[in-house]
Amino acid sequence: MAPIVSVQKLTKTYGNGFEALKGVDLDIEEGEILALLGPNGAGKTTLISIICGIVNPSSGSVLVGGHDVVKDFRQTRSLIGLVPQELTTDQFETVWNTVSFSRGVYGKKPDPALIESVLKDLSLWSKKDNMIRELSGGMKRRVLIAKALSHEPKILFLDEPTAGVDVNLRREMWQVVEKLRANGVTIILTTHYIEEAEEIADRVGVINGGQLLLIEKKTALMKKLGRKQLRLELSEPLTALPASLSAYDLTLSQDGMALLHDYQSEDGQGSVVPLLAALAQENIHFRDLSTRQSSLEDIFVALVGDKA
C-alpha cells in the first residue's frame, strides 16, 4: 500500500537563515501511530507544519494521500486534522458550536450526527452546551481533538498532546488515541515524553538538529538497541572474577556480592545459559537474580545525548 504521507528530501531554511530541516525522508503508513521524539528546537513542529501546509518547504516534496501539499493544498488539508498545543477557541463559545464551526471551516456541510458521535467518543457529550471556559483542562484538550476530527480527517497530528498534564489525564489521552486508531485514523504525535512513545506508538522517529536520526518500529528498535542486564546476587562474596569467565561481559559489584552481566536483548538468552553453567562449574552460587531491560529513554539519551 502506498504511504499516506510521503516526505522526500525535505528542507526548511527560515527567513533568518536558520536551517530547521536538513533533508528529511519519511513515509507514514495508513493506520499507524507514529511518535516523533526530539529535544526542543529539533524541528518537529516545522516538519508537522509543512505536512499540514502551514509552512512552506524550502526544497523537497510532501505528498499526502498522493497529493502535493503545496500545489494541492485544499485536498491535502482536508485529509488532515491538527491538534495544536494551545486552545485558541473563544472561551465563551459552547462545545457544540466550537466543534460544528470547525467543520464549516473546511467547507463541509453540517452533520449533527457526526458531531454527536465525535463528542460522544471523546466523552464530551454531556458538556456539549457548556462554554469552553467552564471545562477542565483535560476536557479542553479533548475539545481540541474534537475540533480536529470534525471534518473527518484520515490523518491526525497531535502536537505534544499531553504536555503539562497529570498522569491520569495522560493515560486518558492515550486511550482516546487508541480509540481513534481503532477507527482507522493515522496518528502522528510529537512528544517529549518517551514513556508516551513507548506506550502508544507503533513506530518511533527521533529528530535532532533538523535531521531524522532514525525511524523504526518500536519493538524492533528496542530489540536492536535495547540492552539487558542480568544481576545475580551471590551467596558468598567474590574477591575477583575467575579467569574462566573472562569471555562474558561481567562486572563484579564493589562489595563482591553481585555479578552484573550485560547482553544485547536480540541475542535472546544466548549468553545467559552458558554463563550460568560456567558459574556452576566454578562453584559460584547465587541466591537471587533479576533482569533489567533498557527503555526507550536509554536509547533516546544514547542517540541525542545530553540535549534530551
The yes or no reply on residue 270 touching ligand ATP (CB under 6 A) is no
* One residue of 10, 38, 157, 161 binding ligand ATP per CB under 6 A: 38
Q: Find the angle CA(166)-CA(168)-CA(170) to the nearest 5 degrees.
A: 70
DSSP string, 186-250: EEEEEES-HHHHHHH-SEEEEEETTEEEEEEEHHHHHHHH-EEEEEEEESS--SS--GGGTTS-E
Q: Give the nearer residue to ligand ATP in terms of CB position, either 54 or 105.
A: 54
Cβ-based nearer residue to ligand ATP, 16 or 239: 16
How many residues at the interface with ligand ATP, by CB under 6 A? 12
Closest contact distance (angstroms) between CB of 253 and ligand ATP is: 39
Least Cβ distance, residue 157 to ligand ATP (angstroms): 12
Q: Which of residues 77-96 bind ligand ATP (CB under 6 A)?
A: none
Least spacing, CB of residue 107 vs ligand ATP, in Å = 28
Stretch that binds ligand ATP, among 34-42, 216-224, 235-243, 270-278 (CB under 6 A): 34-42
Cα–Cα dist 221/229, whole Å: 17
Task: Select from 1, 40, 112, 184 the one that contacts ligand ATP (CB under 6 A).
Answer: 40
Instruction: Measure Cα distances from 113 to 18, 79, 141, 150, 295 in Å.
Output: 46, 20, 22, 11, 43
Please, are residues 52 and 93 in contact by the beta-carbon 8 Å criterion?
A: no
Candidate ranges 14-22, 90-98, 135-143, 232-240; the one touching ligand ATP (CB under 6 A): 14-22
- Cβ burial, residue 16 (10 Å; 0-12/13-18/19+): exposed
205 forms part of the interface with ligand ATP (CB under 6 A): no
If binding is defined by CB under 6 A, does position 20 make contact with ligand ATP?
yes
Closest contact distance (angstroms) between CB of 52 and ligand ATP is 12
Binds ligand ATP by CB under 6 A, chosen from 18, 74, 251, 267: 18
How long a stretch of residues is the chain? Answer: 308
Does position 16 bind ligand ATP by CB under 6 A? yes
For ligand ATP, which residue of 2, 9, 14, 220 counts as binding (CB under 6 A)? 14
Spatial distance between the Cα atoms of 215 and 30, rounded to a whole number of angstroms: 16
For residue 197, report the phi and psi dihedrals to the nearest 5 degrees.
-65, -45
Measured CA to CA, the distance from residue 155 to residue 246 in angstroms comes to: 53
Nearest approach, Cβ of residue 305 and ligand ATP (Å) = 16
Side-chain-side CA neighbours of residue 53 (13 Å): 19
CB of 188 closer than 8 Å to CB of 158: yes
Give bridge partners of residue 13 from the DSSP assignment: 19
Q: Indicate whether 41 belongs to the interface with ligand ATP (CB under 6 A).
A: yes
Binding of ligand ATP at residue 42 (CB under 6 A)? yes
Taking CB under 6 A as the criterion, which residues in 43-72 touch ligand ATP? Answer: 43-46
Phi/psi class of residue 178: alpha, beta or left (left: φ > 0; alpha: ψ in -120 to 50)? Answer: alpha
Of 13-21, 103-111, 236-244, 261-269: span binding ligand ATP (CB under 6 A) = 13-21
What is the nearest approach in angstroms of ligand ATP to the Cβ of residue 162? 13
Q: Rule CB under 6 A: which residues touch ligand ATP?
A: 14, 16, 18, 20, 38, 40-46
